[in-house]
Amino acid sequence: MTYSGAARVFGHEHWLQEPKPKEEVLGLFPGLRLDLWTQTQLARAYVLLSVPPDIAPRVLKQLQETADNQELLALYAAFPLLPSGPALLPLATEAVRSNMRNVFEAIALHNPYPAQYFDEAAWNQLYLKAAFINCPLTKIYGLAERANASLSRILSDFAHERWAAGRNLAPDAWQVVFSFVEESLLPDLEHLFIDADIRQQQAATLVCYQNPYADARLLLEHFPMWTEEAQEGELTWPSLAQSWYEDY
Amino acid sequence: MQFPQMPFIDAHAHMVSRTTDDYEAMRAAGIVALIEPAFWLGQPRTEAGSFKDYFSSLVGWERFRASQFGIKHYCCIGLNSKEANNEALAEQVMELLPLYLMKEGVVAVGEIGYDDQTAAEDKYFRLQIALALETQLPIMIHTPHRDKKAGTTRSMDVLEEMGMSPDRVVIDHNNEETVREVLDRGYWAAFTIYPHTKMGNERMVDIIRQYGADRIIVDSACDWGVSDPLAVPKTAALMLERGIEEAQVRQVCYQNALQAYGQSGQMKESDWSENKGIDQSQRFSGTQY
Ligand SMILES: [Zn+2]
> Which of B261, B36, B13, B56 is CA-nearest to residue B139?
B261
Per-residue pLDDT, B236:
95
Name the average pLDDT for chain A. 90
* Whole-number Å distance between alpha carbons of B146 and B148: 5
Q: How many CB atoms lie within 10 A of CB B104?
A: 19
User: A interface toward B at CB cutoff 8 Å?
Assistant: 1, 4-5, 7-8, 65-72, 99-103, 129, 132-134, 246-247
Query: From the CA of B172, how far away is ligand 1's center (Å)?
Result: 9
Query: From the CA of B243, how far away is ligand 1's center (Å)?
Result: 30
The string of pLDDT tens digits covering residues A125-175 is 999 999 999 999 999 999 999 999 999 999 999 999 999 999 999 999 999
Q: What's the whole-model pTM score?
A: 0.88
The string of pLDDT tens digits covering residues B24-46 is 999 999 999 999 999 999 999 99
Which of B:31-90 have CB within 8 Å of A?
52-53, 55-56, 59-61, 63-64
A contact test, residue of B102, B137, B279, B285 with most A CBs within 10 A = B102
Identify the band that residue A21 occupies on the pLDDT scale cut at 50, 70 and 90: low
* Whole-number Å distance between alpha carbons of B35 and B18: 14
Any domain includes B284? no
Q: Is B60 in contact with A5 (Cβ distance < 8 A)?
A: no
Per-residue pLDDT, B275:
57
What integer is the mean pLDDT of B264-275? 90
Q: Is A101 in contact with B282 (Cβ distance < 8 A)?
A: yes
3-state secondary structure chain A: CHHHHHHHHCCCCECCCCCCCHHHHHHHCCCCCHHHCEHHHHHHHHHHHCCCCCCHHHHHHHHHHCCCHHHHHHHHHCHHHCCCHHHHHHHHHHHHCCCCHHHHHHHHCCCCHHHHHCCHHHHHHHHHHHHHCCCCHHHCCCHHHHCCHHHHHHHHHHHHHHHHCCCCCCHHHHHHCHHHCCHHHHHHHHHHHCCCCHHHHHHHHHHHHCCCCHHHHHHHHHCCCCHHHHHCCCCCHHHHHHHHCCCC
Any domain includes B3? no
B-chain CB neighbours of A69 within 8 Å are 59-60, 63-64
CA of A72 to nearest chain B CA: how many angstroms apart? 9
**Assembly ipTM:** 0.81
Per-residue pLDDT, B284:
46
Beta bridge partners of residue B170, listed in sequence order: B140, B188
The count of C-alpha atoms lying within 13 angstroms of the C-alpha of B39, restricted to the half-sphere facing its C-beta, is 22
Identify the band that residue B280 occupies on the pLDDT scale cut at 50, 70 and 90: very low
The percent of residues in chain A predicted with pLDDT above 90, rounded, is 72
CA of B163 to nearest chain A CA: how many angstroms apart? 25
* Whole-number Å distance between alpha carbons of B170 and B15: 20
A-chain CB neighbours of B104 within 8 Å are 4, 7-8, 68, 70
What integer is the mean pLDDT of B41-54? 95
Residue with more model confidence, B287 or B16: B16
Per-residue pLDDT, A72:
96
Per-residue pLDDT, B56:
97
Any domain includes B152? yes
Q: Give helix then strand counts, H and E, for chain B.
A: 12, 8
* CB A91, CB A60: distance < 8 Å: yes
Per-residue pLDDT, B288:
36
Identify the band that residue A14 occupies on the pLDDT scale cut at 50, 70 and 90: confident
A68, A101, A133: residue with CB nearest B103 = A68
Any domain includes B277? no
Collapsing DSSP to helix, strand or coil, B197 comes out as: coil
CA of B144 to nearest chain A CA: how many angstroms apart? 30
Could you list the residue range(s) of the whole structural domain that residue B95 is in? 8-266
Residue with more model confidence, A15 or A149: A149
For chain B, the domain total comes to 1
* Whole-number Å distance between alpha carbons of A28 and A32: 8
Asked if the model's pLDDT at residue B276 lies above 90, the reply is no
Any domain includes B275? no
Q: Is A67 in contact with B96 (Cβ distance < 8 A)?
A: no
What integer is the mean pLDDT of A107-128? 97
What is the CATH number for B225?
3.20.20.140
Identify the band that residue A29 occupies on the pLDDT scale cut at 50, 70 and 90: confident
What integer is the mean pLDDT of A223-247? 92
Question: Does the CA dihedral B226-B228-B231-B237 come out positive or negative?
Answer: negative
The string of pLDDT tens digits covering residues B192-248 is 998 875 566 889 999 999 999 999 999 999 999 999 999 999 999 999 999 999 999
Any domain includes B100? yes
Q: Is A102 in contact with B284 (Cβ distance < 8 A)?
A: no
Identify the band that residue B287 occupies on the pLDDT scale cut at 50, 70 and 90: very low
Identify the band that residue B168 occupies on the pLDDT scale cut at 50, 70 and 90: very high
A7, A71, A133: residue with CB nearest B289 = A133
> Which of B170, B174, B204, B176 is CA-nearest to residue B188?
B170
Per-residue pLDDT, A1:
60
Asked if the model's pLDDT at residue A19 lies above 70, the reply is no
Q: How many CB atoms lie within 10 A of CB B95?
A: 9
A-chain CB neighbours of B52 within 8 Å are 65-66
Any domain includes B60? yes
The percent of residues in chain A predicted with pLDDT above 70, rounded, is 95
The percent of residues in chain B predicted with pLDDT above 90, rounded, is 89
Backbone angles phi, psi at B199, to 5 degrees: -80, 115
Per-residue pLDDT, A6:
80
Any domain includes B287? no
